Amino acid sequence: MRRPRVCDERAALPHVRLNLLDRHIFTSVLFTCAAAVGLFAFVVLLPNIVRELLGPLLAGQFGFDTFARLVGLLLPFAVSYALPMGVLTGVLLTLGRMSADSEITAMRSAGISVARLARPVFVLGAVCATAAFYVNFESMPWARQQYYREFAAAVRANPLRIIVPKTFIRDFSGTVLYVGEREGPILRDIWIWELDDQQRVKRLVRAEAGRLDYDEPTNSLIPTLVRARVEERNQENPEDFTKSPKAASVDRAEGVRISLDRYFGRNLERMKDDWLTYPALRERQAKLDATTPAPDKAVEHARDKMKLSLILHDRLTLAFAVFSFALIGVPLGIKVSRRETSANLGIALGLVLTFYFLTVAIKWLDRRPELRPDLLLWLPNVLFIGLAVWLFTRIDRK
């Protein structure tokens, strides 16, 4: 009775070894991918923090708790772009190291195929792709909208904190402001440059003193200037100095408005389609499909429909790219067989840049809906999967 039991135990040993091997590969790739995603998320996050949040924080427009909350709301946006490259880099680094240490060779000598070795990587790629779908369609859109709302609310609590003395403030739409001194709402040595669409100075206002009042209905600052000099330039060509600009000195200057669109809901209207969650996106698509446009609006209506379809397919392809990169990372990692992080990072960066370049190039066709650029967005994924299958067949032949 004992002999069959021994045979059963021996028959179960390969299965046990493969389970241990799967866990070893899965955990190794998982931790490396997590570190890579964290690194690339930081790289994506840092420019946004410096450009949008660091200045207001140092100027005292909001506290550190608000700063930390806004950084947290930026995180899903960074993760959505960091996931594909992080997964690819993690797979390349892990399998490249295992191949350089002859671990892959030992596994294949034991009769384990490359496709079987890659199964834990495929599982991890599928899990990460599922997470990317959630981030792209739910977490990121909600976080971006909430980010702009909280940013606006933080500035609206005390809009005059925007004014930093002895600093050229270029954050306003169509206006540059400089203030020499500030005592509460009272300002001294005020310079206001009003710009045209080409960022040329069309009007220059300089005042000895004045005050700024916030007008909430128009989301703008209204300066009241004392002992001001107003210089009006040629509206058609402000840089034409063949004629002297009109200049006038007044005891009190009013009527100037400084728009705060940069802060208040800056992108909610402009990006209302880009930051829709999946249910809202599908609802908007259904409304457009149910609308019959007038003949003169047919072209614009088709472009609006294509814009929504591009947004939908762009998020889908970006999420599926996580799995595509995991797939192509397996044969590349085994083939490269290097420990050097720089070489693997270079390969990952080249592949990701190629993917994004193709995606951006296809998006340029958004005004040609008849070419179906929304479906063409899947072309980079198809190319990468085809390349991965070809590399797998080449490795199996060796």
Query: pLDDT digit string (tens) for 181-202?
Result: 887 778 888 888 888 777 788 8
Tens digits of residue pLDDT in 315-332? 999 999 999 999 998 888
125 and 56 share a domain? yes
For range 73-92, the mean pLDDT: 91
Question: Is 193 a domain residue?
Answer: yes
Q: Is residue 165 part of a domain?
A: no
Indicate the average pLDDT of the chain. 80
Are 19 and 145 within one domain?
Answer: yes
Rounded to 5 degrees, what are φ and ψ at 245?
A: -65, 150
Mean pLDDT of 170-188: 80
Q: Is residue 264 assigned to a domain? A: no
Judge if 140 and 206 occupy the same domain: no
Mean pLDDT of 276-286: 86
Q: How far is CA 311 from the centre of its chain?
A: 13
Higher pLDDT, 369 or 79: 79
Range of the domain at 115: 2-156+300-397
276 domain-assigned: no
pLDDT higher than threshold 80 for residue 156 = no
269 is a domain residue: no
Question: Where a domain ends, among 208, 236, 259?
Answer: 259
pTM (2 d.p.): 0.74
The pLDDT confidence band at residue 344, using thresholds 50, 70 and 90, is low
With a cut of 50, say whether residue 7 has pLDDT above it.
no
DSSP state, residue 264:
S
> pLDDT digits over 371-396, tens only?
889 899 999 999 999 988 888 888 76
Return d(Cα 306, Cα 213) in angstroms, integer.
43
Q: How far is 257 from 366, CA to CA, in rounded Å?
A: 36
Q: Two tokens at 170?
A: 């270029």
Same domain, 252 and 324: no
- Mean pLDDT is highest, among 51-60, 189-198, 252-261, 334-343, for 189-198
Mean pLDDT across the stretch 239-243?
66
> Of 259, 290, 321, which residue sits at a domain end?
259
Give the angle subtended at the CA of 22 by the CAs of 17 and 23, to the nearest 5°.
100
Write down the pLDDT at residue 13. 41
Nearest in space to 29 (alpha carbons), one of 97, 77, 80, 75: 97
Number of domains in the chain: 2
Q: Residue 371: inside a domain, yes or no?
A: yes
Q: Which residue has the higher pLDDT, 264 or 79?
A: 79
* pLDDT for res 243: 66
Most confident of 192-196, 297-301, 357-361: 357-361
For a pLDDT cut of 70, what percent of the chain falls above it? Answer: 82
pLDDT, average across residues 5-32 = 67
**Cα end-to-end distance, the chain, whole Å:** 44
Average pLDDT, integer, range 286-310: 84
Q: What is the pLDDT of residue 132?
A: 94
In this structure, the strands spanning 246-253 and 258-259 are unpaired
Q: Are residues 353 and 254 in the same domain?
A: no
pLDDT tens figures, 98-136? 887 777 778 777 777 777 888 899 999 999 999 999 999
pLDDT for res 320: 94
Query: Can you give the pLDDT at residue 87?
Result: 92
Residue 172 clears pLDDT 60, i.e. is over it = yes
Place of tokens 């495929």: 122
| Whole-number pLDDT of residue 54 | 81
Please indicate, yes or no, whether residues 69 and 178 belong to a single structural domain of this protein: no
pLDDT confidence bin for 1, thresholds 50/70/90: very low
Asked whether the predicted pLDDT for residue 270 surpasses 60, the reply is: no
Residues 143 and 52 in one domain: yes
Nearest alpha-carbon partner for 124 in 95, 87, 89, 83: 87
Residue 362 lies in a domain: yes
Tell whether 88 and 6 lie within a shared domain. yes
Domain check: are 182 and 144 in the same one? no
Does the pLDDT value for residue 11 go beyond 50? Answer: no
Residues 215, 257: Cα–Cα separation, whole Å: 9
Mean pLDDT, rounded, for 47-57: 83
Output the pLDDT for position 253: 64
Q: What is the largest CA-CA distance in the chain?
A: 112
- Domain shared by 377 and 315, yes or no: yes
**Residue where a domain terminates, one of 227, 259, 291:** 259
Say if residue 6's pLDDT is above 50: no
On whether residue 281 sits in a domain, the answer given is: no
Mean predicted confidence (pLDDT) in 54-63 = 76
Q: What letter would DSSP give residue 368?
A: -
Are both 30 and 82 inside the same structural domain?
Answer: yes
Distance, CA of 210 to CA of 226 (rounded, Å): 5
Residues 113 and 30 in one domain: yes
Instruction: Look at residue 254 in the predicted model and tell me its pLDDT.
Output: 61
